[in-house]
Amino acid sequence: MIARTSRIRRLASSGAVFGGVFGSALLSFFANDAHAEDVDPEAGDFADGTTDVKSLETRNKRELASWVASRPPEPYVYPERDLTLGAAWGPLFDAFDKGSGALVASTLIPHFGVTILGGTPQATLAWPWSFPLGPKLSATRDYRKFDVYVYRPFRLIFEPILVVGDEIRFALRPGIRFLHHPSTWPVGIGAGVGANLTLAAKGGSAIAVSPEAVVQIGRCCRPSYITLAIRPDIFVTGETSFVFSTHVGFTYF
């Protein structure tokens, strides 16, 4: 029991040190990239803070209305059915072409990682579906485009997890996450907390408190990022007392 407790403390200490050093390095490296004036003007428009975001959205609507008014009128064209081999396959592929491909990929493709359970690494697959919440703190607009992408800092998380090792474990992790990602940063950093509800294939269940550190790679604010999550799961019921895990994959928000 003493040896197990010592191992748990060493894992927790290592995870805390790694997270602190990694987070500090990221903040230091990207601190000088937080100003829009350092960005190529042809990269588009950037806004941070609710007032600036609202101003960008208002200006975008005004400029779009002006552009539409300047366009010559177009004759009406009756829409024909888009059929392939006699079936409506066209609209399905049009959805991917119009940006839904990234949304489908982020929903279906798992994140890959490792879970350290009882000192033994085990393969992990996770599907961290997220839903943005909160005020519009950042926004971007592509150069010569009229699409404004806004960024909300909070995420509701619903995450199915599959751990494959000595035995198969399935878990559900509801939670909430905060990500700080200014409009000109190539990464966002944040943290979250959740509840890990685990069910083992051989029977038995457990519940854990699950804090996490998160790094989101990709320039704000257009959706599609690579996200890395590092977390300890501190179990309050069941036989397992401590689990350390990390995974990385593609997320839409």
pTM here? 0.74
In which band, very low, low, confident or very high, does the pLDDT at 1 lie, cut at 50, 70 and 90? very low
The pLDDT of residue 103: 86
State pLDDT tens for residues 81-105. Answer: 777 777 777 666 666 666 678 888 8
Please report, as a single letter, which amino acid is at residue 201. Answer: A
d(CA 243, CA 236): 12
What are the CB-based long-range contacts (under 8 Å, 24+) for 52-56? Answer: 52/139, 53/136, 53/137, 53/138, 53/139, 53/150, 54/136, 56/139, 56/141, 56/148
Of 88 and 46, the structure prediction assigns the larger pLDDT to: 46
The pLDDT of residue 201: 67
Residue with tokens 């409009």: 183
Across the range 136-144, mean pLDDT stands at 93
**Interstrand relation of 138-141 and 45-48 (parallel, antiparallel or unpaired):** antiparallel
The pLDDT of residue 199: 86
Element containing residue 155 per DSSP (H, E)? strand 154-164
| Stretch among 62-66, 203-207, 216-220 having the lowest mean pLDDT | 203-207
Residues above pLDDT 70, as percent of the chain: 78
